[in-house]
Amino acid sequence: MTQTDTLPASPESRRNVWVLVAAQAILGAQMPMIFTIAGLAGQTLASNACWATLSISIMVVGSMLSATPLSSIMQKYGRRVGFLIGTAAGALGAAIGAYGLYSASFPIFLLGAIFSGTYMSAQGFYRFAAADTASEAFRPKAISWVMAGGLLSAIIGPQLVKVTAQAFVVPFMGTYLAVIVLNILGSFLFLGLNIPKPPKPKIGDALGRTRWEMIRTPRIAVAVICATVSYALMNLVMTSSPLAVVGCGFETSNAADVVTAHVLAMYVPSFFTGHLIARFGVEKIIALGLVILAAAGAVALTGFELENFFAALILLGIGWNFGFIGATTMLAGAHAPHERGRMQGLNDLLVFGGVTMASLSSGGLMNCSGGSVEEGWAAVNIAMLPFLVLAGGALIWLAMQPKESQMQ
């Protein structure tokens, strides 16, 4: 570690972090909004209930496909350009989704989800942008603080759903119109972002490792596995939770409250996750996250009362926070600045590829794996187990590697 790495965070670094915190809070509110109502809206449009959550799956596919191009654009033109592309896509996707609801067209509704996925991908880079101008000592805190911006989005998003879901004759259309407004207003935040573009390599400079060389690096490979498992399992359970809550006889407003509690649990720990990582080490915090994710599944299987949904989804959010922020911190410290365009895009391609599979599986497990809502919800939570074993095994394997070989 150099002397620079131990210095306090610079004013520029802190300003960038606060811009990204605000973006996470305001623009990020559209994610809990969409996740709360997309499955319910899909039930009104799809001819088969098994496809109720297909729009969420399509959105995640859009995010997966956008990750590498957006990362390359940010590497070449800067973070601000990539983030503005994301907000434009978010507004366009919401507009198409609103029209799909208005015209009762499921294909049009799904088309909008693709563009919403591009915004989702851009939002995923906020955490990496926080680390761009941060010292090594400030990096885990910067990432955690930006993720903590989701605390406000957890309040804003579901509450906007309550106000807008039935605001028009066409159910849920008002929510998508509100998402358009959020994207337009939130775009102005990025005028305050000042993250220099990585310098272009000169003739004779090292170009860094290829994507294949980086993904074969033990520390990077484990970071990607743990990030993918944490995010995919969170999405698997969270996507089905509104359907399960409503299917068990509770109201849409109850489902919104459960999502609110879940998203709060995702982001409240961010106020201290960075400190925990700095004190105990990133590997231990990731491991704790995986244990908490397993506890979420266990709680979900113990009953179908509203209290069970709240407890399970709160644990799910905390487990995601520790697992995903930990994996992001591990990855951010395992590659050089001139490699970030390749590695961060590849990471999010793989992460959202896993999330895509989880999202596609969620609706099928929930609606088509048993004869009742309760059986479907149980199947969703049991499906977490093998992936938790995979991520836990990867962490144990990394711990057994000599320190000098983890980065090679």
- pLDDT per position as a tens digit, 19-42: 999 999 999 999 989 988 888 888
Question: Is 200 among the domain residues?
Answer: no
Cα torsion 168, 173, 175, 176: sign: negative
Rounded-to-10 torsion of CA 330, 134, 66, 31: 90
Q: Give the domain extent around 245.
A: 9-194+210-405
Question: Is 205 among the domain residues?
Answer: no
Give the predicted TM-score (pTM) of the model: 0.74
Cα torsion 393, 394, 395, 401: sign: positive
Q: What is the pLDDT of residue 1?
A: 39
Residue 364 has pLDDT above 80, yes or no: no
Whose tokens are 């998402």? That residue is: 179
Average of per-residue pLDDT across 223-227 = 94
Share of the chain above pLDDT 70, in %: 93
Burial pattern 300-317, b for ≥16 Cβ within 10 A else e, equals beeebebebbbbbbbbbb
CA distance to 145, 280, 336, per residue, from 284 (Å): 20, 7, 24
Question: Is 101 among the domain residues?
Answer: yes
Question: Is 150 among the domain residues?
Answer: yes
**CA atoms of 275 and 1, how far apart (whole Å):** 18
Q: What is the mean pLDDT of the chain?
A: 86
Question: Is 4 among the domain residues?
Answer: no
CB 147 within 8 A of CB 227: no
Question: Is 180 among the domain residues?
Answer: yes
More confident of the two residues 113 and 264 = 113
The CATH number of whichever domain residue 262 belongs to comes to 1.20.1250.20
Residue 203 has pLDDT above 60, yes or no: no
Residue-wise pLDDT tens digits, 159-190: 898 899 888 888 899 999 999 999 999 999 99
**CA atoms of 238 and 50, how far apart (whole Å):** 16
Q: What is the pLDDT of residue 107?
A: 93
More confident of the two residues 319 and 68 = 319
- Binning pLDDT at 50, 70 and 90, where does residue 298 land? very high
Q: What is the pLDDT of residue 318?
A: 95
Question: Is 177 among the domain residues?
Answer: yes
Average of per-residue pLDDT across 80-104 = 95
Q: How many separate domains does the chain show?
A: 1
Average of per-residue pLDDT across 394-408 = 79
Question: Is 315 among the domain residues?
Answer: yes
